Structure 1
Amino acid sequence: MKELGKCRAVIALLCFTATVFSGCGNRTEAVITDGEDITTVSAEYPTLEESHADIFTYKDLKIGNISYLMTESQVIAILGKPKEETENDGEKIYSYNEMSICFEKLDDNNRPSGSGVYKVTQAASIGSDDKFSRNMRVGQSADDILKMYYRDADYQNHLYMSEDKTLTYGKLLYGDFTIAELDKVNTKETVAYGLVNYNGYSNLETADSYNIEFTYVDGKYKGDRATVDDDFATLNFEIDNNGKITAISWFYYPEQN
């Protein structure tokens, strides 16, 4: 059984080479990094207008005409043969210039299987020509993300902090907890949240870069509650200190046997 890393593990979300992407089947935690001690209380921000955008779901797992769970032949029919192809231990990566597509061997129920068929489970790009769901591209702004994806009207005041309130990890765009806390929450409901991840900085003003991340677990659990062994998906935007998107990636983690 594969498990998520510990709460403060630093996770490399954006994978663009075979070396980094070779672990594309690992179920890594995608939200939290160590922060700094907080000695002052953040100022309260005004409430924003209500967002009418949809939350992130599995239907957003696409890049161009490529969608999650497509087979190799379907991808090649759309993109042609990759410029580079690597394979290792039930995983395969197709590289197309600034875009990478990762496959895992899955069975008919889309669970990992050594005798299964390669299907798309991850995609990443650092190029502005590659269009993701909702027409998002590298080079757009953080504001563009928050226009296209749902966020609570008061998210700027919804700090995501350590249990003892000494560390600030970021701000929750929506939702009340992350996938790292499933063992404490004990929920049977759909899990969905968005997070502005400070990447170890205490606020956006001091951050050299940060991430805007979305996670979705659809509620079809194999047990009586949500666990990290159920299938889930993440969408990740890497943002520079000018508020521009420098990389985009999404991950589908299939249910574990």
Structure 2
Amino acid sequence: MSGPAVMPHADAVQTAATVGLQERIARDTYALVLEQPDVADRIEPGQFLMLRLPGRDDPLLGRPFALYDVGSDRTSFSIGYLVVGKMTRLMTGLRAGDEVEVWGPLGNGFPRPPAPDAGPVLMVAGGIGQTPFLAAGREILGAVAYGERGRFAAPAHPPELLYGARSKEYVAETEQFESRGIPVSVATDDGSAGHHGFVTELLERRLTAEPRPSRVYTCGPEPMMKAVAKLCAAAGVPCWASLESPMACGFGACFSCVVKVRDADSTDGWDYRRSCLEGPVFPAEVLTFD
């Protein structure tokens, strides 16, 4: 591809990106650094991009990947991914200097951070769902300015990551959070690291502890997010969910990523929204999780 082409989705550009670094960060889990200043300068926490391997028609369509973080000079950005199918298996073969096609930033990200004197933001992740939270946490801390949102004032309480995984070998890069001042609590299904049980059990305890959280962000398997939303609703704590909906186009034309939401203005009390346009971050209270 030649120069970046500005697309009709907000500030998205469709262009080529160069692989700067690829590293394995946990079992079947990788972090990929891509050098592309036009995307890196625009993208905000919670947004995503579509990535495609050039010269291939299998898979033909791109795949969505959430922002992990942006480089300090805002000329590169990183994504994290779990190997689950043909596209991600092919991606493990990428090396520094290779080119990929990217389109982004896409979608709506997390809301602006709360007031500095508000309670801490809890970020609840399951599996690869920790991916959006490094950038979100650093923005809340006032450490980095993303896109055009500017730098926010440092909070009285740092954000906290509650991270659930199948076992210790699937827990990725907690040191990246802790070294930046974001405390991490881990839960594993088999008890090989941290709490033996579900991450929602950690959340249930934390919602009743001091300092009282001001809001919750969650990303991961849908049953986990449904449980998180239910706990937050019972505790009266606002919650936002970052959905991992499968996508084909990324700009709302194909309707393959629709999610069911509550809609008081609809005759049936519900309607559909496109995750790639109205999401992927939604207030959990509007989601039906059907």
Using structure 1 for the length normalisation, give the TM-score. 0.27
- The structure whose residues are more often helix, as a share, is 2
Compare relative contact order (CA 8 Å, sep 6+) and give the higher one, 1 or 2: 1
Using structure 2 for the length normalisation, give the TM-score. 0.25
